[in-house]
Amino acid sequence: MWFSCVTFGAVATCVVIFSLWDKFQTYPTITGLDTDFHNWKVPFPAVAVCPLEPAGMENIREFLGFSADDTGVETNEIVEFYFEMSKLSLNTVKGFAERYHNGIPKQFNQSTDLRGLTLKLLRKCDKLFESCKFKDEAINCCSVDSQSFQPVLTENGLCYAFNSRHLEATSSRDVKFNMQYIKETDIKWSLEFSVNSQQLLAPIYIINSDDFIGIDVQPQLVWDCKVDRIAFSFKQTYTTEDTRQLSIKQRKCIFEDEVKLKVDWIYTYTACTIECRMETAKRRCGCVPFFYPEIAGFDYCDLSSLHCIAAHLAEIRDISKCNCQLGCKNTVYEVETQKTKEYVRTVFLC
């Protein structure tokens, strides 16, 4: 009887120990909700406006030296080619490659710097934005600083970004980043901009200033000039330093200085997936598309190499083997929009 009790107790103890150990390995942390009531020095997010047609036909004709009267077949063919090329992104590269699989217009030089050319083709900032306000004060929409809209190439195409840290690496101009802050409870501490056209169709991204815009990021709004107000709130997940003693697999997040990336010195989930896709593209095709960040050891593809990218696109987009986790400090922005019945050219973000 005594032996049976001891045996039963030992078995029960082992079961409890292994159960607790398994729980510690899989769910070692506790998630709690903190409510902050501060209203000082809240980092303003990066706001990116990404026109689906970044280069207008008129811009391309002017760039190529064609007048409005030049309407020949070859002229229209080369203008259309440049127009489609200006929209290149990871989402459109396959369609572009299929459309021109039999060859490109003979007037186009295969050795052309596609990245530099795309930046030249885009609508000039002052042709897109009419006026801007930040913190209820008028600002120059297109000045050479981070308190303005600057062009940036992304996996989702070309964007104009406000308050983004990644402008200097992707813009042809030397832009010094200066983080913008607002007072959380003051509605006047906001961003307002007007565009020159009521026909603009552009996804708008609201993200952390340290983050990239990638295909993993969904726009909060596809602006069709029928929304005049965007109210956003943010939810921030942070992890205490004590959890560093746990493995990445246990806590399911990575601290910003824990994994060294090539694309950036701060770890974020999007930066990790972008670098992973770049590595896959380089391994399969020996190059990466021109809209990726400039990194030593990663050559940009020419037009002929984009066919290779298109052929391996499914593998490049697959991040199941990337070992990317969310950052231990992660911010998610949620928005509420106010629609209008008429077309507007001004949008107010607060």
Q: Which two tokens stand for residue 17?
A: 């120990």
- Predicted TM-score (pTM) of this structure: 0.82
Pairing of strands 129-134, 137-139: antiparallel
How is the chain split into domains, by residue range? Answer: 1-30, 239-328
In contact, 46 and 211? CB cutoff 8 Å: yes
In the chain, DSSP assigns E strands to 42-43, 46-49, 129-134, 137-139, 149-154, 157-162, 181-182, 191-195, 202-207, 221-223, 227-237, 330-339, 346-349
Q: What is the pLDDT of residue 149?
A: 85
In contact, 345 and 231? CB cutoff 8 Å: no
Q: Which two tokens stand for residue 12?
A: 């029960």
Q: What is the pLDDT of residue 283?
A: 93
Q: What is the pLDDT of residue 166?
A: 79
Give the strands of the sheet with 202-207, arranged side by side: 149-154, 157-162, 46-49, 202-207, 221-223
In contact, 14 and 127? CB cutoff 8 Å: no
Quick one: residue 292, left, alpha or beta (phi over 0 = left, psi -120 to 50 = alpha)?
Answer: beta
Q: What is the pLDDT of residue 33?
A: 42
pLDDT for 5-27, tens place per residue? 555 555 555 544 545 445 445 54
| Of 32-36, 105-109, 131-135, 262-266, minimum mean pLDDT range | 32-36
Nearest to 318 by CA among 99, 90, 92: 90
Beta bridge partners of 138: 133
Q: What is the pLDDT of residue 146?
A: 60
Split at pLDDT 50, 70, 90, the class of 46 is confident
Across all residues in the chain, what is the average pLDDT? 78
SS3 breakdown of the chain: % helix, strand, coil, rounded to 5?
30, 20, 50
Nearest to 97 by CA among 305, 315, 318: 305
The H-or-E segment that residue 55 falls in is none
pLDDT for 59-72, tens place per residue? 888 777 777 666 77
Residue of higher predicted confidence among 48 and 112: 48
Split at pLDDT 50, 70, 90, the class of 288 is very high
Q: Which two tokens stand for residue 260?
A: 């060294």
pLDDT-above-90 percentage for the chain:
11
pLDDT for 144-193, tens place per residue? 766 788 888 999 988 898 888 877 544 444 556 666 766 655 566 678 88
Residue for token pair 């701060």:
266
Nearest to 151 by CA among 133, 128, 130: 128
Residue of higher predicted confidence among 322 and 168: 322
Q: What is the pLDDT of residue 15?
A: 47
Fold classified for 239-328: Helix Hairpins (1.10.287)
Q: What is the pLDDT of residue 347?
A: 67
Split at pLDDT 50, 70, 90, the class of 314 is very high
